A and B are shown apart, each in its own frame.
Chain A
Amino acid sequence: MFRYIASFILATTLVFANLFAPSDDDFLEPNEAFKTHSFKEGEYIEFEIKLGKNIYLYQDKLELLITSPSKIDITNKIKLPDFVEYNESKAIFDQANISVPTSLIDELVDSGEFALELKFQGCSSAGLCYAPMSAFYNQSASIKSKDEIIKPLQTIQTVEEEPILNETEEIASIFDNSNIYIVLITFFGFGLLLSLTPCVFPMIPILSSILVSHSSKKELSSKRGFFLSLVYVLSMSSAYAIAGIIAGIFGANLQSALQNPIVLTLFAAVFVALGLSMFGYFEIRVPAFIQNRLSKSTEGKENQGIVGIAAMGFLSALIVGPCVAPPLAGALVYISQTGDALLGGLALFVLSIGMGVPLLLIGFGAGKFMPKPGGWMENVTRFFGVVMFGLAIWMLDRVLDPSITLILWSVLFVSSSVYLGLFEATKEGIVGIKKLKKVLEIFLVVIGISLFIGALSGATNPLKPFEGFTSGAKIENSNSLEFKELKTLQDLKSVVSSDTKPIMIKFTASWCSSCKELENITLKDQEVIKTLSKYQLYKVDISSNTQDDKEILAYFGLFGPPALLFFENQKELKSKRVVGYKSPKEFISNIQ
């Protein structure tokens, strides 16, 4: 399995390496981006800044100072160049000319000698911001000629306040720090639950035989019995820890591979299969010839002392492995998401320690601590089956339409309720746990039906299935905003040049989380839909990052999705451009 995953990762890496070759040379050096020139012409001292391709200046960062003989800020006394609204800023494109009347200087400076400094700062719309820079003009009494230099203001020291964490960040930080403990406790809990499944049964005779063989030599104390069981359980846990470390090491890459819709669907299918096996539709087991070999290799080790017990514990993990495979697979997926080998190892270690608790109790010689086997064990197994189905839906959530996922959740809840015995007649006067079980069955079916109704009404959020009824407006489905796809820059230009009404073009990609937020929150908001009704809607999907995609991005000076561009009368309204996620409220105020 890992070989296939490794091949997939390698292929993905190579594809990326070739598709996205470096393009750092596309950015202009500061002296190319800003070509400055200052000179005296008639009654004015002129500063001229020619801006390179895609370069813009922030109008509100322009600052003009008399630096000699004394420092005076004259920014407010001169006329600054016109600006256009761009990305919520006042931007100057192409060229900036600043004229300083000599009469103004004469008013403020007594002598004929003075020095001017024009501070400015700008960015490239292709995705780079430059340092604050200055252009200078010096005039001495004897030499009244132009003199200019340009240099980055690297000597300027800006005093930055200490970053202050807001409340949310502080809470998040605390959570992060305590995360590992929560994870470990959770995994231990899952291990305990697994120990209540019949999966642990095959290990009981193995451990019992070890304990019997040791007790035949001398009387086996509780302490000694516990110690032997501990060795057995610890070595079994080591085997699981190794699996966890491997999942952790390959974690980030596994996660990358998991984002592919085909892989996601395959994994979902595996989870469904595992879930079905937990419900007893079929059994997953190690092929008989391997199991026989393993059993043979553990035979006769009863008398080989601690090392033998440890070896048996390690091998037992392999025997039991397939039985606990479904929940184990879930655990491994979680670990692979964290990409943390240490956490992976520790998590599976504590999981199997949890699993080994009954064995430790056996070792302690206290069979009385053991819960009695019974039908409830089947229920624990089925619970894991439901978890498997849940994981499958969670995987599919990234591939399917949210309303379909919602229906799947509703099916899961309803069928869980039915499996628990919703339609089984209850005897009169039931009390305790059975009554609670009935309450749970009803609760699950109510949730399931709510989700189903919600899905049919167009809701997509499992936590707000009745949004369509409570918001007072009918929820439109995702097709309510229809975007026609544009593939090439040529297509895009011809659409813009022949527009009859305003156009909005959405830049999106399947790998872009913010695009999903924009899609599922902002572009599904009723007010936003209403506001966009006057626009023709197009989209450019740059998921594959083809040459055409790169060309379009470069043409508009975009460095990635999500972005929304607005056109009217064959021209882009740069002031309305939206880059990154914007809430519905921000979005509406931006385009109005």
Chain B
Amino acid sequence: MKKIVTLILLLSSMLFAVKLEYINSYDEALQKAKSEDKMLLVMFTMKDCPACEYMKDVAFDSERLNLYLSHYFIICEIDYKDPSSYPQGLNPFGTPTFYIQDSSGNTKGRAIVGGHAAPVFLGKLQEYK
């Protein structure tokens, strides 16, 4: 019985958490997006950026957005202060800035600039689906 209870507890605990993975290499993220047939969310962040922290720690932690991102996107986090790591054609003017790309690396629509509350950001992402 103890094992069963443990299993149930384990199962219950897993129901809550979806840990988002942030990949720092664009090539690696694109490869993963291709293999999993997901879209790519390229996010530019930097240190001392409260909006970046808000997006990662608060907005992306919101259940709906968290699940939407984990289900449809591979997240690639690029350091804004390291232009050598910028994917070709992406030129943000601040952080956080988000670009949505398909699994072939084609940028879709306009960039999402700045921090947003979870449902606002989710609404913007849903426009790309």
Partner of A511, one of B57, B79, B119: B119
Partner of B67, one of A19, A156, A172, A339: A339
A163 at the B interface (CB under 8 A): yes
Residues in B with CB closer than 8 Å to A562 are 58
CA distance A560 to B114 in the complex (A): 12
Q: Residue-by-residue, is A475-517 near B (CB-CB < 8 Å gives 1, otherwise 0)?
A: 0000000000000000000000000000000000101111000
Decide: B61 and A514 in contact? CB cutoff 8 A.
yes
Minimum CB–CB distance for B108 against chain A, Å: 13
Minimum CB–CB distance for A581 against chain B, Å: 7
Residues in B with CB closer than 8 Å to A21 are 123
Decide: B50 and A129 in contact? CB cutoff 8 A.
yes
Count class of interface residues, chain A:
35 or more
Decide: A128 and B71 in contact? CB cutoff 8 A.
no
> Quick one: which of B24, B57, B63 has the most chain A CB within 10 A?
B63
Minimum CB–CB distance for A408 against chain B, Å: 15
CA distance A581 to B79 in the complex (A): 24
Decide: A20 and B124 in contact? CB cutoff 8 A.
yes
Interface residues of A in 8-45 (CB under 8 A from B): 13, 16-17, 19-22, 24, 26-27, 29-30
CA distance A338 to B48 in the complex (A): 33
Minimum CB–CB distance for B84 against chain A, Å: 7
CA distance A338 to B12 in the complex (A): 12
Decide: B94 and A131 in contact? CB cutoff 8 A.
yes
Q: Residue-by-residue, is A106-125 near B (CB-CB < 8 Å gives 1, otherwise 0)?
A: 00000000000000010110
A83 at the B interface (CB under 8 A): no
Q: Residue-by-residue, is A278-299 near B (CB-CB < 8 Å gives 1, otherwise 0)?
A: 0000000000000000000000
B53 at the A interface (CB under 8 A): yes
Decide: A163 and B24 in contact? CB cutoff 8 A.
yes
A580 at the B interface (CB under 8 A): yes
Decide: B64 and A256 in contact? CB cutoff 8 A.
yes
Partner of A580, one of B57, B79, B120, B124: B57
Q: Residue-by-residue, is B76-87 near A (CB-CB < 8 Å gives 1, otherwise 0)?
A: 000111111000
Given A183-B14, A256-B64, A580-B58: A129 and B117 within 8 A (CB)? Answer: no
Residues in A with CB closer than 8 Å to B68 are 252, 256
Q: Residue-by-residue, is B1-17 near A (CB-CB < 8 Å gives 1, otherwise 0)?
A: 10010011011101100
A402 at the B interface (CB under 8 A): no
Residues in B with CB closer than 8 Å to A183 are 14
CA distance A154 to B1 in the complex (A): 62
Residues in A with CB closer than 8 Å to B71 are 251-252, 339-340
Q: Residue-by-residue, is B37-49 near A (CB-CB < 8 Å gives 1, otherwise 0)?
A: 0000000001011
Decide: B116 and A559 in contact? CB cutoff 8 A.
yes
A526 at the B interface (CB under 8 A): no
Decide: B110 and A22 in contact? CB cutoff 8 A.
yes
Interface residues of A in 571-588 (CB under 8 A from B): 579-581
Residues in B with CB closer than 8 Å to A19 are 119, 123
Decide: A128 and B63 in contact? CB cutoff 8 A.
no
A394 at the B interface (CB under 8 A): yes
Partner of B48, one of A20, A61, A581: A61
Decide: B119 and A129 in contact? CB cutoff 8 A.
no
Decide: B94 and A30 in contact? CB cutoff 8 A.
yes
Residues in B with CB closer than 8 Å to A189 are 4, 7
A149 at the B interface (CB under 8 A): no
Residues in B with CB closer than 8 Å to A98 are none
B74 at the A interface (CB under 8 A): no
CA distance A61 to B81 in the complex (A): 14
Given A58-B48, A156-B81: A511 and B59 within 8 A (CB)? Answer: no
CA distance A157 to B79 in the complex (A): 11
CA distance A514 to B118 in the complex (A): 11
Residue positions of A touching B, CB distance < 8 A: 13, 16-17, 19-22, 24, 26-27, 29-30, 58, 61, 87, 89, 121, 123-124, 126-132, 152, 154-158, 160, 163, 172, 176, 179, 182-183, 186, 189-190, 193, 251-252, 255-256, 259, 333-334, 337-340, 383, 387, 390, 394, 440, 509, 511-514, 542, 545, 553, 559-562, 579-581
Q: List 5 A-B contacts (CB under 8 A).
A: A89-B48, A160-B82, A337-B15, A511-B118, A553-B117
